[in-house]
Amino acid sequence: MGYPNPQSQPTRAAVRPTKTLVDAREHGIRVAPADICPPIRPRLQGDGLAACNQTSRRGEPRESVSERDLLTLVAGVVADRDGVRRGWERRGWIWGLGSGANVRPEACTVGGAAAPGTWCGRRSHYRLGVTRELSQGEYVLGLAGLALLRIYGDRDAGAAEECLAEIHRLLERLGAGPLAEPIHGPVVRPEVGYADWSQVYDQAPNFLIDLEGPVVRDLLDSLGGEPVLDAGCGTGRHLEHLAARGRRTIGVDPSSEMLARAATKVAGGDLRRGDLTRLPVADGEAATVVCCLVLEHVEDLSAAFAELARVIVPGGSLIVSTLHPVMAQVVGWSAWFVDLSGQRYDVASFGHGVSDYLKAALAAGFSLERCLEPRITSDDANRIREHAAPIASMIAYQGLPVALVLHLKLE
C-alpha cells in the first residue's frame, strides 16, 4: 500500500481506445478510453498535442481533449488508491511514451528516466497506469478519511474528535519529511516480482500471511485424500506444513527461484515448474488443491478455475485464498516486497471482487462449502497502525476482512 512522487508526471502519453463503454455496449458504439462527464477545460493547461475523443455516458461525442490534458487531469485527481477516479479505470489503457517519463517496462517508477518500450501498469483490473502517485502523507490522510466515515457510522463523537485532531496535525506536515516520500515502489509483473521476492520472502514480516495462514492450514487439516496439490506453492509454506503431517504433496510454481526455496523445506518433494494457464499435472491427479495468494495476480479467473477443476478428482476440494477485495480496493493494499538492496517493489494484480471469484468457480463446476474472512482485531490494528495517524489508522483497520478464503468442492 503506497504511492510514487506527486510531482512525477509523464511528459507525453498515448491513449488508445481498446474498450467499449458498458453504457454504450448495447448500442455497439466504439468509444475512446476516457469518459469525462463534467467540463474540464477550466482545470487544464494543454499544449495542443494530438486530441483524443471524449464521450458522454451515452456514448455521444463531446469535445476533444489533448493527450497531455487527459494525462494532466488523471495525474491531478487523487480520489482513490490509484490516484485516479475509479470510473476511469474501466475506460481503457494509458501508455507512457515520452522521453523522461517516469515509467519502466514492468513498472511505474518512483523517479528517473524511462526505459524504452514502457508498460505503465497499476493494480487495477484494466491496468490503467499513471505516474502521479500518492505520498506517504496523502495515503495516511486517505486512511484517516476512511476512519472518520467509520466513526460517524458508529456515532462515536469522542473518537471523531481525536481523529479530526490527527487529520489537522497531519495536514500541517503533509509535504515535509518522510510524509512527502512516495508510498509505492515500481510495479513489476508477477513472474518478475516473485523471482526477486524469493530472496527475502520467508524472512520479511507479512501481516496478510500471519492471518491467512492459520485459516488455510485448519482447512487443510480437516480434509483427507492425497496427493495435495499446492498450485502456486511459492517457497513451500503449505507444503512444509503438509509434509510434517505425512501428507503426500505436489508443488507447482512458475518461479524456479521460489521452487528452489521450497526444495529446502520439503526434502525429495514433488516440485514442478508451471503456472495456472497449464498446470503440469494430469487430469484428476489431485484429491485436494490449495491455491493461496495467487489468483489476485491472474487476469482470467474463468480459465484459472477451469484449469484447477481439471486436475482435481471429482468430489475433491479446492481451497483458495486471496487478499480481500475490501483491503485491495478500499484501503489500497497490494502485494509488495523490499529487495536486498532496500528497493520496494509492488507486484501487479487485478481488482477482482468476491463475486468475480465465486462466478468463475461456480462456472467451472465447483460448489461453495465455506467462505471465511479473517478480520483485523484491535491487537492486529495496533500492530500495523500508521505512526503519522495512529488513532485514525487503527480505527480504519479494525474489523476489516484482510483475506478471503474459499473452500470449494468439485461436483
- 256 within some domain: yes
CATH number at residue 321: 3.40.50.150
Amino acid 78: pLDDT: 30
Three-state secondary-structure class, residue 292: strand
Residues 353 and 270 placed together within one structural domain of the fold: yes
- 127 within some domain: no
Alpha helices in 47-156, H assignment, sequence order: 67-76, 86-89, 136-154
Q: Are 262 and 253 in contact (CB under 8 A)?
A: yes
Residues 263 and 210 placed together within one structural domain of the fold: yes
Residues 72 and 18 placed together within one structural domain of the fold: yes
Amino acid 34: pLDDT: 38
- 337 within some domain: yes
Total domains in the chain come to: 3
Three-state secondary-structure class, residue 14: strand
Amino acid 274: pLDDT: 95
pLDDT (tens digit per residue) in 216-252: 999 999 998 999 999 999 999 999 999 999 999 999 9
Place of cell 458498458: 22
Residues 156 and 225 placed together within one structural domain of the fold: no
Residues 239 and 328 placed together within one structural domain of the fold: yes
Residues 30 and 70 placed together within one structural domain of the fold: yes
Mutual angle of helices 207-222 and 237-244, in 10-degree steps: 40
Mean pLDDT in consecutive groups of 10 residues from the start of the chain, 411 residues: 30 32 33 34 34 34 41 38 31 28 30 34 35 76 88 75 87 80 82 85 89 97 95 96 96 94 92 95 98 95 98 98 94 88 87 96 98 96 88 92 98 91
Amino acid 212: pLDDT: 97
Q: Are 165 and 129 in contact (CB under 8 A)?
A: no
Residues 213 and 318 placed together within one structural domain of the fold: yes
Q: Are 207 and 383 in contact (CB under 8 A)?
A: yes
Residues 304 and 164 placed together within one structural domain of the fold: no
- Residues 389, 392: Cα–Cα separation, whole Å: 6
- 286 within some domain: yes
- 254 within some domain: yes
pLDDT (tens digit per residue) in 34-51: 333 333 333 333 333 223
Residues 38 and 161 placed together within one structural domain of the fold: no
- 44 within some domain: yes
Residues 170 and 219 placed together within one structural domain of the fold: no
Residues 31 and 64 placed together within one structural domain of the fold: yes
- 77 within some domain: yes
Residues 176 and 215 placed together within one structural domain of the fold: no
Domain span at residue 348? 205-377+398-410
- 130 within some domain: no
